[in-house]
Amino acid sequence: MQKTKRLLTYLFSTLMLILLLAACNSDSTSTGNNNEDGDKKAEEKIVVGFSQIGAESGWRTAETESIKETLGNDSRFELKFSDAQQKQENQIKALRSFIAQKVDIIALAPVVESGWETVLQEAKDAKIPVILLDRGIDVKDESLYTSFIGSDFILEGENAAKELIKLMGEDTKVNIVELQGTVGASAANDRMEGFANVIKENSNYNIIKSQSGDFTRAKGKEVMEAFLKSDGDNIDAVYAHNDDMALGAIQAIEEYGLKPGEDIKVVSVDGIKAIFEAVAAGKANIIVECNPLLGPQLAQAALDLQAGKEIERWIKTEETVFVGKEAAETALPSRKY
């Protein structure tokens, strides 16, 4: 009888120990799952879909690299990138793909100003905020996009004209040819408007030719060749809406037998390293900077939106103007693009 009691006591104690261990294991497993869930939530990335216009210029490439480097090297982000090859239909397809993938934020560098209402309404319906980069759009409902990160293109055009007048003198008769950017692009429209606003105030300055060079070096050279063929002896200055077209124009002027920067003054917008080298060499004269390094500003805007914060409607970039060899030579060592 005594042996039986001892056996029962032993069996009971063993059973209680097993149950206690099982309970501890259960608590440990449960706690582990909760930590994993918390870690997973903490590790959730902000998915950004970026539709880029293309790679038509050194400036555009620098913008792409800035965004890829900033977001691609930050563990808080996942970047989905699409190159539209300068076609709006490709950008619209990319945006619809981003919407289908349920990205958190769409970043759009629009190739032209118009034609965005339908796809941006689809993004709005999906509750995906859209941030415009470096170019604006023309829409009746401005709530279709959340913010614009970029420059004041009209001011850039005005600064280009003011600096040209300072360089050549208010009382000098000056005939100007203009290399426009892509037709319908906000950068082209606004840089043309800003430049014209200042030029028309001085009767000594006249824009005698104006044509699109599509923001590319090859097209800029081609258009400048046509200008020189028709008005070569009558051109005093060329105003290019970007550096790549200006560099193409410089080549055309040299092949025509004139000296760019001397016989024909060269003014351009953007500020890529190659145009600084041209100014330092005396082949161009004025650079109106347009900063393409928008990656950090895009990243901060995305973080703020994800945190439920309100961001500025227009997040402006910091820029300046460079005139002459000395300014170009001083700035060259620090140029990142």
Q: Mean of the pLDDT values across residues 287-298? A: 96
Q: Mean of the pLDDT values across residues 68-95? A: 97
Task: Give a three-class secondary structure readout of 195-247.
Answer: HHHHHCCCCCEEEEEEEECCCCHHHHHHHHHHHHHHHHHHCCEEEECCHHHHH
Find, among 126, 58, 111, the residue nearest to 273 by Cα: 58
**Four-point Cα dihedral 197, 199, 203, 207, nearest 10:** -120
Letter for the amino acid at 256?
Y
Residues 6+ apart with CB under 8 A from 77: 45, 46, 47, 48, 71, 299, 302
pLDDT score at 137: 96
Strands 147-150 and 130-133: parallel
pLDDT score at 26: 39
Mean pLDDT of the chain: 90
Structure tokens that stand for 230 in this block? 């028709």
| Cα angle 81-92-71, degrees, rounded to a multiple of 5 | 20
Cβ neighbours around 212 below 10 Å, total: 20
CATH code: domain 153-290+321-334 is 3.40.50.2300
Q: How confident is the model at residue 56 (pLDDT cuts 50, 70, 90)?
A: confident
Q: Mean of the pLDDT values across residues 30-42? A: 40
Measured CA distances, 312 to 124, 143, 319 (Å): 18, 13, 18
Please report the DSSP string for 276-292 in residue order.
Answer: HHHHHTTS--EEEE---
pLDDT score at 16: 52
- Above pLDDT 70, what percent of the chain? 87
pLDDT score at 176: 98
pLDDT score at 1: 47
- The tens digit of pLDDT for each residue in 138-181 reads 999 999 999 999 999 999 999 999 999 999 999 999 999 999 99
Q: In the predicted model, is pLDDT for residue 15 greater than 80? A: no
Cα–Cα dist 68/66, whole Å: 6
Q: How confident is the model at residue 43 (pLDDT cuts 50, 70, 90)?
A: low
Minimum mean pLDDT range among 31-35, 120-124, 245-249, 269-273: 31-35
Tell me which range, 16-25, 50-59, 219-228, is most confidently predicted by mean pLDDT. 219-228
Q: In the predicted model, is pLDDT for residue 14 greater than 90? A: no
Dihedral sign for Cα 163, 168, 169, 173, please.
negative
pLDDT score at 44: 87
Indicate the SS3 state at residue 66. helix
Q: In the predicted model, is pLDDT for residue 2 greater than 50? A: no
Q: In the predicted model, is pLDDT for residue 28 greater than 90? A: no
Q: How confident is the model at residue 8 (pLDDT cuts 50, 70, 90)?
A: very low
- The tens digit of pLDDT for each residue in 208-250 reads 999 999 999 999 999 999 999 999 999 999 999 999 999 999 9
Measured CA distances, 85 to 57, 63, 91, 111, 148 (Å): 12, 15, 9, 9, 22
Phi and psi angles of residue 272, each rounded to the nearest 5 degrees, phi first = -75, 160
Fold agreement between 45-149+293-306 and 153-290+321-334: yes
Cα–Cα dist 167/153, whole Å: 21
Cβ neighbours around 93 below 10 Å, total: 15
Strands 77-83 and 46-52: parallel
CATH number among 3.40.50.2020, 3.20.130.10, 2.40.128.520, 3.40.50.2300, domain 45-149+293-306: 3.40.50.2300
What residues does each domain of the chain span?
45-149+293-306, 153-290+321-334
Look up the pTM and report it. 0.79
